[in-house]
Amino acid sequence: MARLHLFDLDGTLLHGTSAPVEISRQLGLEAETVALDREISAGLIGPPEYATRVHALWADLTEAHVVAAFEGAPWLARIRDVWAEIKGRGEYCAVVSLSPSFFVERLTGWGAHAAYGSRFPAVPFTEPVDPAGALSAAAKVLIADRLCEEFGVTRANCVAYGDSLSDKDLFGAVPVSVAVNADRHLAGLATHSYMGMDLWEAYELVRSGR
């Protein structure tokens, strides 16, 4: 049976940063968002409050800011090569992230079969964010199950790639996982561990599996 490869975004495909930080950098609000990232990483706030507060920071956000953030972000090397290889093998790749949908969904243009993020209104904002649309670690597992059904695979055929606490539930739900530049929250949980800047090297740890 074909496999489904599930990729986290912040700290995984993006090295040492998050999509909200890269977006905020375009507005001169990087420090404020780094502080928010620390709060959510420490469990001091949850995804709904994070979404509400970062949405308020981005009152002046434009599509040009989002494009500049996406194109200038520190992506791991060879992401598109990995996804092309996965698709060429008849397998599936998807991105599931707590970051805003308007950023995450751009990765379908790089070859991901699907990309899910926390639901945000379209940019520029003319309406508030719905806190209920903010994804959580548990929601990643629910989305993975939905994707399994869509692609005709099972959890037993899933591979997860992640770096932090938001990936812990998914790592516990699938049989194969790759910790990519991971923090202490995934210690001892991953099947494989990779430190570096090239997604192909991380993918090679599971490439031969069937």
Calpha distance 196→180 (Å, rounded): 8
Calpha distance 103→60 (Å, rounded): 16
Q: Which among 70, 86, 87 has a CA at the least distance from the CA of 9?
A: 70
Tens-place pLDDT, residues 7-28: 999 999 999 999 999 999 999 9
Contact at 8 Å (CB) between 181 and 61? no
**Which pLDDT score, from 0 to 100, does residue 209 have?**
66
**Which pLDDT score, from 0 to 100, does residue 25 have?**
97
- Helices then strands, counting H and E runs in the chain, come out as 9, 6
Calpha distance 33→138 (Å, rounded): 23
**Which pLDDT score, from 0 to 100, does residue 41 have?**
84
Tens-place pLDDT, residues 118-138: 999 999 999 999 999 999 999
Which residues of the chain are modeled with pLDDT < 50?
A: 210
- Count Cα atoms within 13 angstroms, Cβ side, for 29: 20
**Which pLDDT score, from 0 to 100, does residue 167 have?**
93
